[in-house]
């Protein structure tokens, strides 16, 4: 399943890194959700998160020579025609995910939204790995990888099943499903930017540049139509979402070359569920209770990562057509 130049220890370490990145995603989601609640505007909260991340990345690029060299390398490679320009727009997937949260999560409920995005992310992981991208060699859809993917979706669905609402129109699921599909592609192209630039921070810079630009346009339209909050939150901890985003976007760009998109995505999903479980125990949200389905679903997702990470013995026989 994995590139033969990568030892099992390196792959295991990369999987652990993806779990940690997923936990940071859940932490960022909790922070951005609280910021959106206090502002009364989820669009502004999303832009603040992306925008602050871009400002931090611009400062890092200004003082860190390796990041500047990496940006120059990517630009020269695109001009020379050796790198597709669309490798640089992975941040649009993050913007689409945030937008889909604002547009459909209220209609679907957070639980069904999560199932739709996880399904899309898992499918895109299988497809991108099967096809390969740039320096990422194609990985066969083995029995273990397929079982792990299905188990992850089932585990997540089971974890949030008490919260799933009935009577949802099928079309509402399309946007979060597309958002999930785009996340796998985002992680793959960010990984390619890291390979080209030899700098995960360069990939992160382009990610936040594009994401902040897209959300800035959306916020402008939203503000003209509905207005913006009169005041911001005075809690400084609610403005660290962008800094957390820098860490996990850069982390994903590093580990994806060891794990592939599918296993990294499953490990990240597991990390999100574990962190959410910890939050529910330590810092519960008013009106929400920890259920046994959440615990079982989280354990099931961790098991899915383990199954999908099992290397095939004789991959020709184990690969599915």
- 97, 120 contact by CB (below 8 A): no
pTM for this one?
A: 0.86
pLDDT in tens, 137-167: 888 888 999 999 999 999 988 887 777 666 6
Torsion (CA) 185, 46, 295, 168 in degrees, nearest 10: -80
- 295 pLDDT above the threshold of 90: no
What single string gives the DSSP state of each residue in 188-244? HHHHHHHHHHT-HHHHHHHHHHHHHHHHHHHHHHHHHHH---SS----GGGG-HHHH
pLDDT of residue 1: 38
- 218 pLDDT above the threshold of 80: yes
pLDDT in tens, 57-71: 999 999 999 999 999
- 288 pLDDT above the threshold of 90: no
Helix (H) or strand (E) holding 264, with range, is helix 241-282
- 2 pLDDT above the threshold of 50: no
d(CA 206, CA 204): 6
pLDDT in tens, 182-211: 999 999 999 999 999 999 999 999 999 999
pLDDT of residue 286: 64
List the chain domain ranges.
Answer: 12-309
pLDDT of residue 313: 62
**pLDDT-derived band of residue 317, with 50, 70 and 90 as boundaries?**
very low
- 193, 88 contact by CB (below 8 A): yes
- 3 pLDDT above the threshold of 50: no
pLDDT of residue 79: 96
pLDDT of residue 29: 84
pLDDT in tens, 221-266: 999 999 999 899 999 999 999 999 999 999 999 999 899 999 999 9
Maximum C-alpha span of the chain: 63
């Amino acid at each position: 399943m994995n590139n033969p130049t990568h030892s099992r220890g390196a792959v295991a370490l990369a999987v652990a890194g993806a779990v940690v990145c997923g936990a940071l995603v859940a932490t960022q989601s909790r922070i951005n959700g609280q910021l959106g609640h206090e502002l009364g505007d989820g669009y502004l909260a999303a832009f603040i998160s992306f925008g602050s991340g871009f400002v931090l990345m611009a400062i890092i690029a200004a003082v860190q020579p390796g990041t500047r060299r990496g940006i120059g390398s990517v630009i020269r490679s695109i001009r020379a025609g050796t790198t597709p320009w669309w490798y640089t727009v992975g941040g649009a997937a993050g913007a689409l995910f945030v937008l889909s949260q604002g547009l459909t999560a209220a209609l679907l409920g957070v639980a069904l939204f999560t199932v739709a995005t996880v399904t899309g992310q898992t499918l895109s992981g299988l497809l991108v790995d099967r096809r390969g991208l740039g320096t990422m060699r194609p990985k066969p859809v083995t029995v273990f990888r397929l079982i792990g993917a299905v188990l992850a979706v089932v585990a997540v669905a089971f974890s949030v099943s008490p919260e799933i609402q009935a009577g949802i129109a099928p079309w509402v699921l399309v946007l979060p499903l597309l958002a999930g599909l785009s996340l796998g592609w985002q992680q793959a192209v960010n990984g390619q930017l890291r390979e080209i630039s030899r700098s995960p921070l360069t990939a992160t810079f382009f990610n936040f540049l594009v994401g902040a630009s897209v959300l800035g346009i959306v916020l402008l339209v939203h503000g003209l139509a509905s207005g913006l909050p009169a005041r911001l939150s005075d809690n400084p901890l609610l403005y660290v979402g962008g800094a957390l985003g820098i860490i996990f976007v850069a982390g994903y760009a590093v580990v994806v070359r060891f794990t592939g998109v599918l296993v990294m995505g499953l490990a990240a999903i597991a990390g999100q569920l574990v962190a959410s479980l910890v939050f529910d125990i330590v810092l519960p949200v008013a009106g929400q209770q920890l259920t046994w389905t959440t615990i079982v679903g989280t354990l099931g997702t961790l098991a899915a990562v383990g199954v999908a990470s099992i290397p095939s013995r004789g991959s020709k026989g184990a690969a599915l057509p």
